[in-house]
Amino acid sequence: MAKAAKNAISPTRAEDYPEWFQQVIKAGELAENSAVRGCMVIRPWGYAIWEHMQKVLDRMFKETGHQNAYFPLFIPLSFLEQEAAHVEGFAKECAVVTHHRLELGEGGKLIPTGKLEEPLIVRPTSETIIGATYAKWVQSYRDLPILINQWANVVRWELRTRLFLRTTEFLWQEGHTAHATAEEAIAETRQMLDIYATFAEEYMAMPVIKGEKTAGERFPGAVSTYSIEAMMQDRKALQAGTSHFLGQNFSKAQQIKFLNQEGHETFAWTTSWGVSTRLIGGLIMTHSDDDGVVLPPKLAPAQLVILPIYRSDEEKTAVLEYCRSLEKELQAQTYADERVRVITDHRDLRGGEKTWQHIKKGVPIRLEIGPRDVAAGGVSLARRDKSPSDKTSIARPELVATVSTLLGEIQTNLFERAVANRAAATKQINSRQEFDDFFGPAEDENAAGFALAHFHDDPAIDALLKERKLTVRCIPLAGDDEPGVCIFTGKPSPRRAVFGKAY
RNA sequence: CGGGGCGUAGCUCAGCCUGGCUAGAGCGCUUGGUUUGGGACCAAGAAGUCGCAUGUUCGAAUCAUGUCGCCCCGACCA
């Protein structure tokens, strides 16, 4: 009997965090690099997580009155030119389609021909094409609000990519709304931010800070940008979702105007908001450990896996029958308003091998069932949020009766663990000296965590922070904070901002 | 786009500096046997135009030139 490796993932988080992240994704069969530079193949297990995220978010969007629609992948180049800040923000990372045909050249080479009159860009985001459409739809205040979301892929030609966190093509949803008043549009912006925060905390078990971005970090063309910020296990920040109040910037550029109740021609107020497959990166970096992926039950494609153990054919028959009926009983239970998701791994593989595969994929509960369990009317149960060796025996009826509670406990435990991690790396900072001490020298690659400090938005500070690879993550909304003075400039500050290193 | 590195079996790589038998290893895969409640062992087997092109040479994975691709580090970013 060979000794099991101490950890399933090498290197460990402490040894090399970025490499650990890549290995977890590989070992958990979530995704892999493709033949196309910067683009990933999302494997079935990873895609199933995305589908669960979509299902929950889609429901939340519809409960707040939004409808889904679909807009084109291509955007005429001229559309992007309409909003100045928007051009500035996205021009450097656009894929451009210039031809529409291929001709067979020498040596079997295909040569692009059929040059387009006006090049098309592959959408990096859809404000412009959707805005142009809304301009046609909106005539009267009676046509507002327009509350639409689309599930789509977008392309941003990033020079450095990382699986899930920053890929050239990624999947996301983008909501685009148009309103008759600024107040209504701002309320929409904040409502969607709340939905993202609720989703992150209640489903992903990932604590987030809701806040507003500084001028320098704002979405190109937005009046104000809000985000949810999460802290990863390496104490770096991840922007996990954004919601933008676009004011009338885009409606003026695209002529989204209407006659209001007083009969005056008015520009609409618009918003946009999105989350992407980056959430999966956040999920991994929040919960996973040195044995691989750890999934919160609410988003796990399988919440329990049954692992039959047997030697002889007689044992096989009895064990499989026991497993089949247990699977049915468990599937009849509900957790978080859905049927409990159970799979049985029948593959002809060694027990240990199978067990470790499911550990690495992050299945919340493993049930090992062998002849001894069948005889005793029990199961051997192991939780992914505990040590792999930590197994307990439980009577079958008790398991069926408590499975929902158990999944809830794991979900809560993961959230509390993440909250504790964040709290341990978050500090109130009251002076420039404390700030420098907290983050250490600029060349230190390790993130110190979140510093909460008073701050007055000023481009001069951006330069100072940039030098140290720090950013203002956001200015938190939930402000039970007392006013103070900026630790850099001494100017008055209504509340503290969150500083940290970011992905 | 600047700096560095790498292309050899499905994967990870050795061999190259100092050219020479039939190009290797580990993992994975297939088959057979022994095993089995923490990642099995033994045996046999399948698997490679050494990224591509040109050149030097009696002879190139190895040397030269070109070319394509990928990775890492910076600047840019959901």
A window 1-60: Cβ near strand B (< 7 A) = 1-2, 4-8, 18, 33, 37-38
Tell me, in Å, how far CA of A422 is from C1' of B27? 38
Q: Given this model, what pLDDT does residue A204 score?
A: 98
Burial environment of residue A92 by CB neighbours within 10 A (0 to 12, 13 to 18, 19 or more): exposed
Nucleotide nearest to A445 (CA to C1'): B73
Does any strand B atom come closer than 7 Å to the Cβ of A216?
A: no
Does any strand B atom come closer than 7 Å to the Cβ of A103?
A: no
Interatomic CA distance for residues A176 and A179, integer angstroms: 10
Tell me, in Å, how far CA of A102 is from C1' of B53? 25
A window 391-450: Cβ near strand B (< 7 A) = none
A window 306-325: Cβ near strand B (< 7 A) = 309, 311
Does any strand B atom come closer than 7 Å to the Cβ of A389?
A: yes
Relative to beta strand A224-231, strand A209-212 is: antiparallel
* Consecutive H or E run containing A175: strand A169-179
Q: Given this model, what pLDDT does residue A480 score?
A: 66
Q: Given this model, what pLDDT does residue A214 score?
A: 92
Tell me, in Å, how far CA of A35 is from C1' of B62? 29
Does any strand B atom come closer than 7 Å to the Cβ of A371?
A: yes
Tell me, in Å, how far CA of A34 is from C1' of B20? 40
Nucleotides of B under 7 A from a protein CB: 1, 35-41, 69-78
Per-residue pLDDT of chain A (503 residues; tens, 9 = 90+): 333 447 898 888 888 888 889 889 989 999 988 878 888 889 999 999 999 999 999 999 999 999 999 999 999 999 988 888 888 888 888 888 888 888 877 666 777 888 899 999 999 999 999 999 999 999 999 999 999 999 999 999 888 888 899 988 999 999 999 999 999 999 999 999 999 999 999 999 999 999 999 988 899 999 999 999 999 999 999 999 999 999 999 999 999 999 999 999 999 999 999 999 999 999 999 999 999 999 999 999 999 999 999 988 888 999 999 999 999 999 999 999 999 999 999 998 888 999 999 999 999 999 999 999 999 999 999 999 999 999 999 999 999 999 999 999 999 999 999 999 999 999 999 999 999 999 887 777 777 899 999 999 888 888 888 888 899 999 999 766 788 999 999 999 988 999 999 98
- Select from A258, A263, A252 the least CA-distant residue to A138: A258
Does any strand B atom come closer than 7 Å to the Cβ of A289?
A: no
ipTM of the complex in this document? 0.88
* pTM assigned to the model: 0.95
Q: Given this model, what pLDDT does residue A373 score?
A: 95
Interatomic CA distance for residues A62 and A58, integer angstroms: 6
Q: Given this model, what pLDDT does residue A3 score?
A: 36
Tell me, in Å, how far CA of A288 is from C1' of B41? 33
- A408, A438, A471 from A17: Cα distances, Å: 29, 21, 20
Q: Given this model, what pLDDT does residue A107 score?
A: 63
Nucleotide nearest to A310 (CA to C1'): B36
DSSP A85-107: HHHHHHGGG--EEEEEEEEE-GG
- Select from A204, A293, A232, A238 the least CA-distant residue to A23: A293
Burial environment of residue A489 by CB neighbours within 10 A (0 to 12, 13 to 18, 19 or more): middle
At residue A228, the 3 state secondary structure works out as strand
- Select from A438, A430, A499 the least CA-distant residue to A464: A499
Contact A102, A112 (CB under 8 A): yes
